């Protein structure tokens, strides 16, 4: 297994281009199943999750061709309706195949993905939405079985205890675009990745009003056509690089991303006193004297502060003197990074669904375990500011969502190497096996 060795190496400097968003690319690939015509998808990040999704599309019968490193052609002339456990278990997001299979095949059998380290990941709202669209849904032997022979539009409220659901909205939207009649979807997720999916569906001939709002009105059409679409830039990748720049007091410009996608994140950076400059399509973080200010964050659905940047922001607040409080409203237990940051010297505690940080710690390198995608990124960020060497294990989590992470950080001056766990110093071997 691969590991990272990171040594604090002073301020990051330079420019970095942001990739296409993983969380937009996955439902967009699922949407290519809605038509028998070819779809060309551009600005696709090269990630293990994306490869898993392409693998599933191929197994369902679609022809999948890579036209260039970030550009794919999918042609789903004839497809099956079953997504089996051995494929779905590799990636939770494959549940977003439900909507397209229901719409295209009027039948779907999709394995239920199961839990995940960041907390329970129920799909009750997806099922509720499908039932409102006239589907008969049963859970049997670990599968969601859907009979959509009576698929038809209707009114649906899709909000849940934690607010809207991103993948649930994608699923219901993709089922509704080919469902006869009108679907009025209230409580829809407004994330830029959902907006991007709507833009693609409209290019395919879908009729959707209210894009970007919590109320989507969809008039079902009989058929959709192929299209060409470029995936929206990854706001979470952008926020991660900005936090890395900030913790090293670096001077880093990220390009290819409109700052409006990072509204709540930049608002908190401003509150923290981090100097930055914006253009229409770039964000530059500047070096600062003294210290940043502590902040108080609550994660919320878009346009609120994204849960997917909570761990990275925690790393920054750990070295920022004063009391910071980061509260999770999306995944109340998403704090797996906390014990690992504590091993590096962070003074923080979990209280209910909040992380309380007594900031200003001097971090020191240690062997640490990555537990999930964003926690891995938080550990790298902390390691960039730590004295000595940090060894990060289980970085396959990070490879799910960040393309060429270490090479791009190295281009900014970071001292980070991908090694094998055999290179881990002997005294740490035991923790590698735990």
Active site residues: 116
Closest to ligand EPU by CB, 144 vs 386, is: 144
Which residue in the set 6, 12, 26, 246 belongs to the binding site for ligand EPU (CB under 6 A)?
A: 26
Q: Mark 299-338 with x for binding to ligand EPU (rule: CB under 6 A) and - for no binding.
A: --------xx---------------------xx-------
Query: 194 near 173, Cβ under 8 Å?
Result: yes
Phi first, then psi, for residue 55 (nearest 5°) are -60, -45
In the window 204-233, what residues touch ligand EPU (CB under 6 A)?
A: none
Using rule CB under 6 A, residue 166 touches ligand EPU: yes
Closest to ligand EPU by CB, 81 vs 126, is: 126
In the window 386-415, what residues touch ligand EPU (CB under 6 A)?
A: 401
Q: Which stretch binds ligand EPU (CB under 6 A): 164-172, 205-213, 222-230, 361-369?
A: 164-172
Q: Which stretch binds ligand EPU (CB under 6 A): 40-48, 116-124, 173-181, 243-251?
A: 116-124
- For residue 164, which of 303, 23, 309 has the smallest C-alpha distance? 303
Using rule CB under 6 A, residue 296 touches ligand EPU: no
Check the CA dihedral 343-252-330-403 and report its sign: negative
Closest to ligand EPU by CB, 162 vs 394, is: 162
Query: 391 near 5, Cβ under 8 Å?
Result: yes
Using rule CB under 6 A, residue 123 touches ligand EPU: yes
DSSP SS3 for 369: strand
What is the closest distance, in whole angstroms, from the C-beta atom of residue 164 to ligand EPU in the complex? 6
In the window 135-154, what residues touch ligand EPU (CB under 6 A)?
A: none
Please count the helices (runs of H) and the strands (runs of E) in the chain: 15, 24
- How far is residue 381 CA from its own chain's centroid? 18
Element at 339 (helix H, strand E) = helix 337-343
Using rule CB under 6 A, residue 373 touches ligand EPU: yes
HEC assignment per residue over 25-86 = HHHHHHHHHHCCCCEEEECCCCCHHHHHHHHHHHHHCCEEEEEECCEEEEECCCCCCEECHH
Which residue in the set 168, 192, 220, 259 belongs to the binding site for ligand EPU (CB under 6 A)?
A: 168
Which residue in the set 19, 52, 94, 167 belongs to the binding site for ligand EPU (CB under 6 A)?
A: 167
The Cα 247–Cα 316 span in angstroms is: 6
Check the CA dihedral 31-33-35-39 and report its sign: positive
Could you list the residues that contact ligand EPU (CB under 6 A)? 23, 26, 93, 120-126, 160-162, 165-168, 307-308, 330-331, 373-374, 401
């Amino acid at each position: 297994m691969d590991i990272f060795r990171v040594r604090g190496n002073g301020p990051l400097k330079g420019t970095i281009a942001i990739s296409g968003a993983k969380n937009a690319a996955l439902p967009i690939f699922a949407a290519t199943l809605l038509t028998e015509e070819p779809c060309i998808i551009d600005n696709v990040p090269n990630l293990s999750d994306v490869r898993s999704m392409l693998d599933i599309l191929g197994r369902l019968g679609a022809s999948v061709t890579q036209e260039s490193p970030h550009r794919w052609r999918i042609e789903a002339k004839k497809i099956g309706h079953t997504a089996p456990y051995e494929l779905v278990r590799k990636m939770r997001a494959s549940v977003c195949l439900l909507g397209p299979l229901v719409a295209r095949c009027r039948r779907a059998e999709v394995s239920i993905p199961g839990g995940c380290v960041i907390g329970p990941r129920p799909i009750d709202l997806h099922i509720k939405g499908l039932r409102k669209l006239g589907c008969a849904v049963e859970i049997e032997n670990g599968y969601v079985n859907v009979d959509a022979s009576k698929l038809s539009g209707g009114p649906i409220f899709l909000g849940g205890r934690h607010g809207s659901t991103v993948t649930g909205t994608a699923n219901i939207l993709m089922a509704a675009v080919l469902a006869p009649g009108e679907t009025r979807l209230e409580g829809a997720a407004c994330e830029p990745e959902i907006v991007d999916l709507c833009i693609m569906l409209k290019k395919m001939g879908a009729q959707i009003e209210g894009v970007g709002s919590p109320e989507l009105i969809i008039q079902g059409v009989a058929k959709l056509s192929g299209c060409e679409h470029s995936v929206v830039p990854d706001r979470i990748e952008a926020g991660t690089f900005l936090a890395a720049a900030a913790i090293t007091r670096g001077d880093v410009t990220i390009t290819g991303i409109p700052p409006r996608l990072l509204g709540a994140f930049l608002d908190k950076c401003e509150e923290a006193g981090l100097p930055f400059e914006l253009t229409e399509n770039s964000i530059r973080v500047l070096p600062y004297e003294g210290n940043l200010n502590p902040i108080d964050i609550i994660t919320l659905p878009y346009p609120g502060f994204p849960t997917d940047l909570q761990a990275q922001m925690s790393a920054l607040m750990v070295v920022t003197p004063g009391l910071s409080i980061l509260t999770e409203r999306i995944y109340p237990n998403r704090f797996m990074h906390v014990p690992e940051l504590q091993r590096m010297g962070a003074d923080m505690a979990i209280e209910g669904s909040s992380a309380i940080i007594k900031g200003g710690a001097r971090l020191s390198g240690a062997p640490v375990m990555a537990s999930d995608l964003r926690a891995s990124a938080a550990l790298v960020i902390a390691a960039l500011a730590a004295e000595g060497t940090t060894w990060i294990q289980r970085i396959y989590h990070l490879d799910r969502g960040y393309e060429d992470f270490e090479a791009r950080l190295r281009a900014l001056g970071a001292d980070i190497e991908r090694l094998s766990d055999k290179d881990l110093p002997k005294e740490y071997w035991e923790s590698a096996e735990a």
